[in-house]
Structure 1
Amino acid sequence: MSPMNFPTLRQRRLGAELRKLRERAGLSSTAAAAQLGFQQARMSMIEAGRYAVGADKVRAMASSYACADDALVDALADMTGGRTKGWWDGYREHLPAGFADLAELEHHACGLRVCLVIHIPGLLQTLDHARAVISEAAPPLRPYEVEHRLSHRLKRQVVLHGDRPVPYTAIIHEAALRMEFGGPGTMQGQLKHLLTMSEMDNVTIRVIPFAGGGTFPGTGQSFDYVLGPVPQLDTVQLDAAPGCQFAYADTELAKYRAVADRMEGTALDPVRSRDFIHGLLRTM
């Protein structure tokens, strides 16, 4: 099997987790390769996500590294094989790689927890609102680029519906609810859509009001916290000017998990959040 020149985030993550297991076992890459009967170059490509491995090989590596966490090993085994084609692959040549990686990450997520200050979550945006937000990108996007990003964003929303809807919690600051992208009419439609989505069994919306009385948790940075099958495989997605950025070091996961907990503790409960959104609609 030939090495992959452009591994996906999921493939890179599997390699990174296998490297963590090796390092925790106190083995060098060379020693581990010899112990497993690999060439050292292949070991390096596996840990870089550039060489696909099967579930049996992952289990053999975990055993060689004396990993006793069966749940983690099972989850890693489920991540094996070649690249799984999804609808997002059609966007890899049109959008920055992070966009397709985010869609794949959401597709495999066991839960999603998003914290936003200025924007409505992408998975909860209406067509008109999403178009208005994407059109404000800097530098300005060409019309066809806007359409690519718009269709990608709307297709991502499938994870909230269908046979396996993902549990989804959105913690949204009042500032985002008052940003009138596209004008008052578009924002009214967006707020009504939030109320409709909040009625879904798998969707929870909680609002942080300006009049919360207390300090704002964290630095105000928006992020998505994506739950994996085990906590070690959680991922944080951060919005940045160049595009999506992903973090999954243990310290980073702990930090953003704590920030999300504090933001949720500051937010109104789901019922009061619905009442709050209803109140905003009455003033528009």
Structure 2
Amino acid sequence: MPPSKVPPSVRQRRLGTELRRLREQAGLSVTRAGELHGTQQSRISNIESGGYPVSADRVRALARLYGCGDDALIEALTSMTGGRTRGWWEEYREILPAGALDLAELEHHAQSMRIASAIHIPGLLQTLEHARALFRDVVPPLSPPEVEHLVSHRIKRQAVLHGAQSTPLSALVHEAALRMGFGGPEVARGQLEHLLSASEYPRVDLRVIPFGTGSYPGSGAGIVYFVAHVERLDSVQVDGDRSEFIDTEPQLIKYRAVMDRLETSALAPEASRDLIRRIARSI
């Protein structure tokens, strides 16, 4: 099977990265790994770049070759095989940037998520009107069809919070985000009312970081921490001047610590709801 012509998703690239890390930990070069596995060096390289579809059996074979004895890790890696997941987000392939599709795919596969946001309401908790107001404010301006594509994609992502298999979400939202007032008073009030409703979802833990709690670690960037089946496969999206996905162990350790620290600054769920209600009444 030739390498896929479709650019690899962030999950496919992550699978390749983890196989490369296992090979390097085993002290094997790409050439030697190919020899031992009975395949071409170029195929090993393409697998590690995420550009070559790899089967679960091949992942297990490579893991054995590299001396990996972590069965949980191996099974988690095999679950990432089979090429790009044909999820609903694929309908946006020629419409939205690849990063938007990657985000939806990571949300779909996450065991749970931890989000921290200083300026914006997390996308998974935005109303349609709030999202539309945000995208209409983009510079340079977007066309009406571009705005609607982005809005529909954002709203469809929220399906992970509903149903019997909903994904647990811990959301830390700074008071500043609650007071930004995007879209005007009516939209802003509707957004806060939606947050109150979402905070009652069975698997959503919404907490507010109030003004006066001091510094905000992470330089105010939006953070999404995706918890995987095994800790080594966790991922982070940092949304600052540009969005990026992070998966190195030192960075994962850093952002786990950042999220832990932010949680200590947040109000309890009921106190958070009280603050949201007060702000909504003041609009």
| TM-score normalised per structure 1 | 0.97
Between the aligned partners of 1:216 and 1:146, the Cα distance in structure 2 is: 31
In the other structure, the counterpart of 1:183 is 184
In the other structure, the counterpart of 2:269 is 270
Matched, 1:62 2:41: no
Please show how residues 82-161 of structure 1 align to structure 2 within 5 Å: 82-161=83-162
Query: 1:255: how far off?
Result: 1.0
Between the aligned partners of 1:124 and 1:2, the Cα distance in structure 2 is: 40
In the other structure, the counterpart of 1:237 is 237
How large is the RMSD of aligned CA atoms in angstroms? 1.1
Q: Secondary structure at the match of 1:236?
A: strand
Between the aligned partners of 2:240 and 2:42, the Cα distance in structure 1 is: 33
In the other structure, the counterpart of 1:210 is 211
Contact 2:222–2:240 (Cα < 8 Å) also in 1: no
Query: 1:223: how far off?
Result: 1.2
Question: Per-residue displacement from partner, 1:82-101 (whole Å, max 9, x unpaired)?
Answer: 32211101111111100011
Where in structure 1 do 4 or more consecutive aligned residues deviate above 3 Å? none
Q: Secondary structure at the match of 1:4?
A: coil
Give the gaps of 5 or more residues in structure 2: none
In the other structure, the counterpart of 2:249 is 250
Contact 2:206–2:269 (Cα < 8 Å) also in 1: yes
| TM-score normalised per structure 2 | 0.97
Question: Per-residue displacement from partner, 1:163-190 (whole Å, max 9, x unpaired)?
Answer: 3100001100000000000001111100
Query: 1:282: how far off?
Result: 2.2
Residue 99 of structure 1 aligns with an amino acid whose one-letter code is: A
Query: 1:103: how far off?
Result: 0.4
Query: 1:216: how far off?
Result: 2.6
Matched residue count: 282
Matched, 1:227 2:227: yes
Residue 249 of structure 1 aligns with an amino acid whose one-letter code is: T
Between the aligned partners of 2:158 and 2:18, the Cα distance in structure 1 is: 28
In the other structure, the counterpart of 1:34 is 35
Contact 2:223–2:239 (Cα < 8 Å) also in 1: yes
Query: 1:264: how far off?
Result: 0.8
Query: 1:60: how far off?
Result: 1.0
Query: 1:240: how far off?
Result: 4.3
Between the aligned partners of 1:269 and 1:126, the Cα distance in structure 2 is: 23
Question: Per-residue displacement from partner, 1:3-27 (whole Å, max 9, x unpaired)?
Answer: 0131111111100110011011111
Residue 136 of structure 2 aligns with an amino acid whose one-letter code is: S
Question: Per-residue displacement from partner, 1:94-147 (whole Å, max 9, x unpaired)?
Answer: 111000110011011100111000000001001111100111112111111101
Q: Secondary structure at the match of 1:225?
A: strand
Between the aligned partners of 1:196 and 1:169, the Cα distance in structure 2 is: 15
Between the aligned partners of 1:19 and 1:200, the Cα distance in structure 2 is: 40
Query: 1:241: how far off?
Result: 4.5
Between the aligned partners of 1:207 and 1:67, the Cα distance in structure 2 is: 42
Percent same amino acid among aligned pairs? 56
Between the aligned partners of 2:232 and 2:136, the Cα distance in structure 1 is: 37
Contact 2:125–2:198 (Cα < 8 Å) also in 1: yes
Between the aligned partners of 1:149 and 1:280, the Cα distance in structure 2 is: 28
Query: 1:211: how far off?
Result: 2.4
Give the gaps of 5 or more residues in structure 1: none
